Structure 1
């Protein structure tokens, strides 16, 4: 059990949505803060250390996409996007900006709670320390320090979002093993009933892009096995 209550920022311009989410989240023991517009949201998100942010896309002032991009320049706080737009292009754009998950309105509050808990479970250092996993994984061009959740490529630190780190670490635990997208959604995102396979593709793309900025050999370790999934290929 955590020693403190986890704090979630709910960002939505509709008071009834904020009130609904607050009610369900507080029932689960979370502390909830609110913001009703994009400018307030980005100020709060940067000034405070939230455990997770529920972020609506359609906001007055800065929209949710711009808020997400602004937060990602400063922090790696987990972000779940909330939107009435269900088109695939909007989901992918949200992931490319650094969102960890995406829920389309109208949503089930129970689904929101499920997704919130899944992300917090995987992004919590406390949760990781209870797992029987290697604390440091070292490849010629890549080092993953598990307890610190720190990744370095060619001795330069790579700043990843919680979900990007989770995915990289999970693949690195078993080099050369191919994981299907379905497996990765289940094991990394804990989605047995919900989830878009494109989520995995988008996170792999972002991982490669971030690694390639400091180490092309590290980036190319993440290999696509066409028609199957992904693996980390141990350098020969």
Structure 2
């Protein structure tokens, strides 16, 4: 059997189809490579602007996604369902929730500390009382929040004391002269004791082995209920 010649219309042969066959993947096209130095600079600038625009769009999409995930969790959706829908891992969904909780805790702590710093006469509090007042749940959580909170200065953070420093015999909270775990913010390198001295919150008192610095009990709001009222006012 022989094949028939191409059909003709008015003496012309039928045109052949060109390009990719149906279903073949399209090949990305790029503009011609720049030739001169000025064209190179111009193209790089255009690419940088486009990349910045796309990154801003991506950041906005991520923010919206995270907000929807938090909303879904608040409404009782499971992290597994949200992760599957958002094409994320369950660990990533939990990390988003944890980051939001940590951010919220830092904000609540910084607002509470700012309110405490406004009190006259000046007052201190304890990690435990502050934790209860802001709803964090543990003194250690408050300590972690303060350590990573740029909105709280060393002078403000110094007013949050450890309950174990309380000494009924000496009538207040004994402030250590050296505190290796004390964390400062930026260029603010004053110690806790220096900060409390600056606010006239400590008095020097004779101790069993020599003079000690004490914050009197009347200058410490260790009651969570009272502290809640103070920071809400």
Task: Give the TM-score category using the shorter length.
Answer: under 0.3
Task: Compare the two structures and name the one with the higher strand fraction.
Answer: 1
The answer to which structure, 1 or 2, has the higher relative contact order (CA under 8 A, 6+ apart) is 2
The TM-score, its normalising length taken from structure 2, stands at 0.26
The structure with the larger Rg is: 2
Task: Compare the two structures and name the one with the higher helix fraction.
Answer: 2
The TM-score, its normalising length taken from structure 1, stands at 0.25
